[in-house]
Amino acid sequence: MLDPLASYVVGVGVGILFGAHDVAIRGSRSGMDARHMTLSTLLSGYPVVILFSVIFWGFRSISIESIALYVIAGLMNFSVGRSSLYVAIRSLGASGASIMLTLSIVIGMILGISAGERITPTQIMGAGLILAASIMIAWGERIRRDPRGIAAGLVASLGLALAIFLSRLGNISGGDPFAGAFIAYTTAIAFETLASRGARIPGLLSRSSVPIHIAGVLASLGQVARYVALTQLGASIVTPLQNIRPVVATTLTRVFSGRTAEDPGLKGYVAALLAFIGVVVMAM
């Protein structure tokens, strides 16, 4: 068990790790397409997931129902969500894509309502702020408008929301969070490898692909940190903490603008803060 301060540090670390992941993808000069980038980041982060699965799960038996839910969650999270996110990052930038990804919180709320969960006025208010932030990105003057990128951001949000929802059902159905991470990663790697049909990934071992491999490790560390924080603090606290992601991505993409070729401008920063505040309000 972690002490309270360490737990909060881990929760904030989730957003920092994923925000840095978004910027690393944006700064990559690799010629990989989104599907190949997804497989590459999964492979790069897989050793981290295996290590923490051994430590925190120990490969103890879990229910068949939870395994099935984790398998579907893996496909939603990675084969749908992450591959679409990479399209959005290349089109809208790391800042714009990370802000649109906070829409997954709104979608998750809708899924919760469909499952019989109650909705509060503060959740509606927070959802409205997140929606406003995403609209600012979609129609912002400084961030290039791109219908394909906006659509990819929406699909990424839907994939992530479904993955979280299914993973939560898997945990309730006799599963384990770290088992869920291991099964989701394994499923997605198997699917993406099959989808590639043995095709050679262009530039897999080239210098230009180093940022993609770094992004894969950052994402896997973010996944593990999220599960650790959830076991210590609960979803209502971890959710707003981890959604410092758009703020981190917007800041880092400006710091490394020479690499990312991206300047979010004032609207980008305002939208990032608005998205984060919306998530905090939803968790109140």
Cα 177 to Cα 56, 73, 218, 227, 242, distances in angstroms: 9, 12, 19, 6, 17
Instruction: Determine the angle formed by the axes of helices 235-242 and 4-27, rounding to 10 degrees.
Output: 40
pLDDT one-digit tens code per residue, 96-130: 899 888 888 888 888 888 877 787 888 889 888 88
Question: For the residues 180-185, what does the mean pLDDT come to?
Answer: 95
Query: Residue 1: its pLDDT value, please?
Result: 60
Cα separation, 16 vs 81, whole angstroms: 19
Lowest mean pLDDT among 25-34, 43-52, 132-141, 166-175: 132-141
Question: For the residues 160-188, what does the mean pLDDT come to?
Answer: 92
Residue ranges covered by each domain of the chain: 4-283
Cα separation, 261 vs 255, whole angstroms: 10
pTM of the prediction? 0.88
Query: Residue 142: its pLDDT value, please?
Result: 46
Q: Of residues 205 and 183, which shows the higher confidence score?
A: 183
Query: Residue 145: its pLDDT value, please?
Result: 61
Q: Which two tokens stand for residue 206?
A: 């080239």
Give me the chain's average pLDDT, please.
87
Q: How many residues does the chain have?
A: 284
Main-chain phi, psi angles of 19, to 5 degrees: -65, -40
* Residue 249 · residue 61 · CB < 8 Å: no
H-helix segments, the chain: 4-27, 34-56, 64-74, 83-101, 103-114, 121-138, 147-172, 177-196, 210-233, 235-242, 245-255, 257-260, 265-283
